[in-house]
Structure 1
Amino acid sequence: MKKNGGEEAKVERKTVEKNRRMHMKSLCCKLATLIPKEENKSSRDVYNPSDHLDQAASYIKKLNERVEKLKQKKIAAMKTQGLDKDINGAKMKDLSLPVIEVRELDSVLEVVVVSKLNKPFMFHQVVAVLEEEGALILNASFSVVGDKIFHTFHSQAVGSRSGLEASSLSERIRELVL
């Protein structure tokens, strides 16, 4: 009776081991398909899992080096634009916030306001200023990125006025935001 139980356990272990090997082989094949063709140096049609693992490891190392180079390039580009970051890239140096840009194009006016998250202003107040200056709001939106709020207003001159005064608008909005 013990002989039968021992043989069944041996057959079961062989089956488990066979399934494990088949699973590992399928995972290695899947890994091999993820390696780009130019990285896959195996010219042979023979399946060799250790070659695939070596190629995958070297490819991952190349990708890591590329990521580091791109991070350095990004930091250098941000420094040239005055957007220095700390080493972890977590905190941007404050520009002289708030930033207010008023752009005119014929009768269309675009107002962009960038302010700090901890010093918000009322969105509707800018809309009211634009309407008081004779603008019809076409589109208004805002988004929060990090610790900054980006507001964008698109408006058009309405009525008999030929255009909107960009400088007076800029000053009135600056008073609201500060």
Structure 2
Amino acid sequence: MSKHMTYVKAKELLDGARAKALRLATAESCTGGLVAAALTEIPGSSDVFDRGFVTYSNAAKCDMLGVADALLKAHGAVSAEVARAMALGAIEHSLVDVAVAVTGVAGPGGGTPEKPVGLVHFACARRDGGVDHVVRRYGPLSRAEIRAASVTQALDMMIDAVDAAQRRP
């Protein structure tokens, strides 16, 4: 996806959150803050974007988001369970209404037969209830392509979550 389309999606998300007086956060591993960067590139994003957690290591996931070490040991960082825990942790460790989490294998190394390069788990949590999970298998794309596609997926999930969320009183 082009940089222009990412900007358009990010602006749509910010405008939707602003209309409902909702606050946003990100919890990112393999994207390293790129989702937060896409949002904060837009002037006025501070109205709705609260914070971004870049939790690249397992220790950071535990320390910053409260992800249980046992969960990481049982399922690995690249899993639906950890993505959900990251999104919920971002909600619990902030005053936001919607939080997205991204964890995956961006490559070019680090893949295994069970968790190949291009496998990315996403979760989006709403304070008013619900955690959505999506898994993508991007295949043998470059690291940059996997990360760019992941930003698009995360923004799409947040747009859907904002659409489904109740307006903050």
TM-score category (smaller protein): under 0.3
Give the TM-score of the pair, scaled to structure 1.
Answer: 0.26
Name which structure has the greater RCO, CA cutoff 8 Å, separation 6+: 2
Structure 1 or 2, whichever has the larger Rg, is 1
